[in-house]
Structure 1
Amino acid sequence: MNDSAEGRVQQLGSLGYLCHGLGPFVLQLFCLTLSTILLLAILVKVSNVAYSHGQEQAKKEKVYKEMTQLKSQINRLCRPCPWDWTVFQGNCYFFSKFQQNWNDSVNACRKLDAQLVVIKSDDEQSFLQQTSKEKGYAWMGLSDLKHEGRWHWVDGSHLLFSFMKYWNKGEPNNEWEEDCAEFRGDGWNDAPCTIKKYWICKKSAMSCTEK
């Protein structure tokens, strides 16, 4: 109850006190009527306050519902990968539109907060090999620049023996100081790192799940 309502209660009490000593019936009836009117005014005021509070609560609930719906819509619009990137099994891949040498390809991926692609599974290899066949020979993040014949990925990991099967027949042969690996045809080939080729970057996909 606000100050106005409390004031009316006090007025009602004072009126009752003044009317208590009056004898004539007309005056008592008059006081009773005034008391009734004042009481009704207090009840109306209290009712309005309660109604306003109910409206405010309803507005808050409506806003919360709209925010929840908006969040759901935003999540449906969420892209796990940037535009021009392709998502595959939780990772994002960027296939370049122009060619450059291996070192420049490594740096280009770093500028995109990614790595020249490091292959971690047979499924990933199959996906990248097929895509490179469609787009053109492309660099991967594999080289033996530090030590001839010892192939390492750009993240420092060794080339697993189980992945050796992906070299094309007779490769790697280091025929012309070929220290960097590319996707070529149905498998891998070693090539001079200075040759310009397409390149593929890789980074983890973003999560679009609600928290």
Structure 2
Amino acid sequence: MLHLLSIVLLTGLLVAVLVQGFKSPSSLENEKIYKQLMQLKVVVDSLCLPCPWDWKFFHGKCYFFSKSQRTWNDSATACQEVEAQLVIIDNDEEQTFLSVISENEVSVWLGLSYVKEEGIWKWVDHSPMDDRFKKYQRGNQSETEVCAEVTEGLWTADRCDLNKFWICEKSAAPCPASKV
């Protein structure tokens, strides 16, 4: 929000510079406006956003909630293209955050799929699903290839070739130490 406000202020000042330039050719007035712009630039440059503009921040991670639907594999590729991965749920707090922030009754791909040959659920980083998350599972995985989706806070298995929304995650960017 602060970032957006700064952009609006900077835009306003730029418009003011243009308007002032047309109204009065006074170089003293233009110098004053230029100094104000440079002061604002210093403030804008010091802002730090740990996540890209349309991502959500939670506990040191950035989350992207898609606005289009893709298959599970295409969703995983879309996340990789932005240097992220389909979401891996590490704890109950993250599960609650994702359940609250995603829209109700919308199925969203998680970074979890069932490996039938091994008989286990694995995350996109190849780690097995921890048994403590079984409380979120609903249904079974009778299909050859199934992937996990979350709907209304519960995980269900569905065919990986179906189009659904998805969630990407990546580590938040560290903000540089303030020089003030």
Q: Fold match, TM over 0.5?
A: yes
Q: Is the counterpart of residue 192 in structure 1 residue 159 in structure 2? A: yes
Greater percentage in strand: 2
User: Is contact 1:132–1:183 with CA below 8 Å preserved after alignment?
Assistant: no
Residue 74 of structure 1: aligned partner: 45
Amino acid at match of 2:62: C
CA distance in 2, matches of 1:179, 1:158: 15
Aligned residues: 140
Residue 113 of structure 1: aligned partner: 83
Residue 141 of structure 2: aligned partner: 174
Residue 206 of structure 1: aligned partner: 173
Within a 5 Å distance, the mapping from 1:21-36 to structure 2 comes to: none
Greater percentage in helix: 1
| Structure 1 stretches lacking a partner, 5+ long | 1-65
Kindly indicate whether structure 1 or structure 2 has the higher relative contact order, using CA contacts under 8 Å at least 6 residues apart: 2
Residue 120 of structure 2: aligned partner: 150
| Structure 2 stretches lacking a partner, 5+ long | 1-37
Q: Deviations over 1:1-33 (max 9, x none)?
A: xxxxxxxxxxxxxxxxxxxxxxxxxxxxxxxxx
CA distance in 2, matches of 1:163, 1:183: 12
Runs of 4+ displaced beyond 6 Å = none
User: Is contact 1:140–1:181 with CA below 8 Å preserved after alignment?
Assistant: yes
Q: Is the counterpart of residue 127 in structure 1 residue 93 in structure 2? A: no
Where 2:120 maps in the other structure, the secondary structure is coil
CA distance in 1, matches of 2:103, 2:150: 8
CA distance in 2, matches of 1:147, 1:188: 21
TM-score computed with the length of structure 1 as normaliser: 0.60
> Alpha carbons of 1:147 and 1:190: their partners in 2 closer, same or farther (altered >3 Å)?
same
Aligned-residue RMSD, C-alpha? 2.2
Q: Deviations over 1:31-88 (max 9, x none)?
A: xxxxxxxxxxxxxxxxxxxxxxxxxxxxxxxxxxx99x93x7633x211000110001
Displacement after TM superposition at 1:136 (Å): 1.9
Q: What is the aligned-residue identity percentage?
A: 46
CA distance in 1, matches of 2:153, 2:74: 25
Residue 107 of structure 2: aligned partner: 137
